A = this chain, B = another copy of it.
Amino acid sequence: MNIKQIAKQAGVSVATVSRVLNHPESVAPETKEKIERIMQEAEYTPNWFARGLNFNKTKTIGLMIPHILNPANMEIVKGVEDVARQKDYITFMCNVENDPEKERQYAESLIHRKVDGIILISSHLEADEIENIYSQGVPVVMIGENKGKPNVPVVRTNCQQAIFKAVNYLMEVGYRKIAILYGKTPELENKRKIEGYEQALAKEGIERNPAYIIATENNIEGGYLGAKRFIEMQERPEVILATSDLIAFGVMDAMKDHNIRMPEEISIIGFDNIRMSNMVDPKLTTIEKPLHKMGVVGARLLFDMIEDADQKNQAYLELHRSKEIELQSKIKIRKSCGHTERLQEMFRG
């Protein structure tokens, strides 16, 4: 709804609506209340900060975070903020808690407040919702696996391939009973990880054991509870592949509580390589996701787009939109799984 429509609905002139916004003391209280009510109902935002007005830089960006208690997310965030700080921008961080409704609410609120751009991490927004943000002149960059596949740039790692390679490695060094304990969130990323796991087993002709594929909450407690289910099995897996380091930490805690030696009785491999994965005992073997770098690359892309939008470089903008940058993961071998000395004891000794 624009100012003309509000005036029409209120049965007043545009000038009166304008006066309500700018010097309300000059408007009769009754008229003022009526116009305000219509504005509120229509969620009308005066367009004073609109890009066309040349007030076009607010020097702020918005950043959607799937969950703030997962350090993996915060390492991506740190990468974004390091770039934003160089550009003298401030970042409004939004804790989505994997709730699509919350994410929508945040997106609206950020647009309403005229941020110069938005970065989505593992977004739940639909393609048309993201297209809608972009069409309002707000550049968008996505980091990670995202629900929508709109025409905006993406920075990601190939989770499927990373797990495929990791499972291959596990089979090469002698493991056969390989279980995967995967987080229920973020949904898409974990779907890819399971695909990678299943493909690797299929390639070696190892039959997929459904009992070895367990879903859990993506946190330490989730890892603990999931691990207990493996511990209770008649035929325990030799190695548990956790889809996040947090889940792996919970698994390790459960193993200690049940006096199960790692990696001798059960090996553990995580995903992310967060700072703490090197601090637990045994040190965690994990798939390194270039978290900080993903944040840096995503933010640089966003600032390129903000600058191109500012300079009305439509051609460059279109070029950015089709970018899909894939960063490589690699396996960090530590004591919890696949470490040479232990492997010799376990499989070759």
A276 CB–B CB distance under 8 Å: yes
**Does A22 contact B46, Cβ atoms closer than 8 Å?**
yes
Complex interface: stretch among A85-93, A130-138, A192-200, A234-242 = A85-93
A203 CB–B CB distance under 8 Å: no
Which DSSP category, helix, strand, loop or mixed, fits chain A's interface? Answer: helix
Most chain B CB atoms below 10 A, which of A3, A46, A81, A113: A113
Interface residues in A214-249 (C-beta closer than 8 Å to B): 220, 249
Rounded to whole Å, the gap between the CB of A286 and the closest CB of chain B is: 15
Q: A22-B21, A48-B21 are in contact. Are A90 and B113 (CB under 8 A)?
A: no
Q: A39-B55, A68-B74 are in contact. Are A220 and B102 (CB under 8 A)?
A: no
**Does B81 contact A75, Cβ atoms closer than 8 Å?**
no
The count of identical subunits is 2
**Does A21 contact B21, Cβ atoms closer than 8 Å?**
yes
- A105 neighbours in B (Cβ, 8 Å): 90
- A55 neighbours in B (Cβ, 8 Å): 36, 39-40
Most chain B CB atoms below 10 A, which of A22, A47, A85, A275: A22
Complex interface: stretch among A11-19, A183-191, A265-273, A324-332 = A11-19
A148 CB–B CB distance under 8 Å: no
Most chain B CB atoms below 10 A, which of A47, A90, A280: A90
Instruction: State A302–B5 Cα separation when bound (angstroms).
Output: 37
Instruction: State A245–B69 Cα separation when bound (angstroms).
Output: 16
Interface residues in A256-303 (C-beta closer than 8 Å to B): 275-276, 278-281
Q: A23-B3, A92-B92, A249-B279 are in contact. Are A54 and B74 (CB under 8 A)?
A: no
Q: A21-B48, A22-B14, A253-B279 are in contact. Are A106 and B90 (CB under 8 A)?
A: yes
Kindly supply a per-residue 1/0 record for chain A positions 20-33, scoring 1 wherever the CB is within 8 Å of any chain B CB and 0 otherwise.
01111000000001
- A36 neighbours in B (Cβ, 8 Å): 53-55
Q: A3-B23, A276-B249 are in contact. Are A69 and B75 (CB under 8 A)?
A: yes
Closest to A36 in B: B54
23 A-B residue contacts at CB 8 Å?
A3-B22, A3-B23, A14-B22, A14-B23, A18-B22, A21-B22, A24-B52, A68-B77, A69-B75, A69-B275, A74-B74, A77-B95, A81-B95, A81-B97, A85-B97, A90-B94, A90-B106, A91-B94, A92-B94, A113-B113, A220-B275, A276-B279, A279-B280
Not counting A46-B46, A69-B71, A81-B95, a sample of 9 additional A-B residue pairs whose C-beta atoms are within 8 angstroms of each other reads: A24-B52, A40-B55, A68-B77, A69-B275, A71-B71, A90-B106, A93-B94, A93-B95, A113-B113
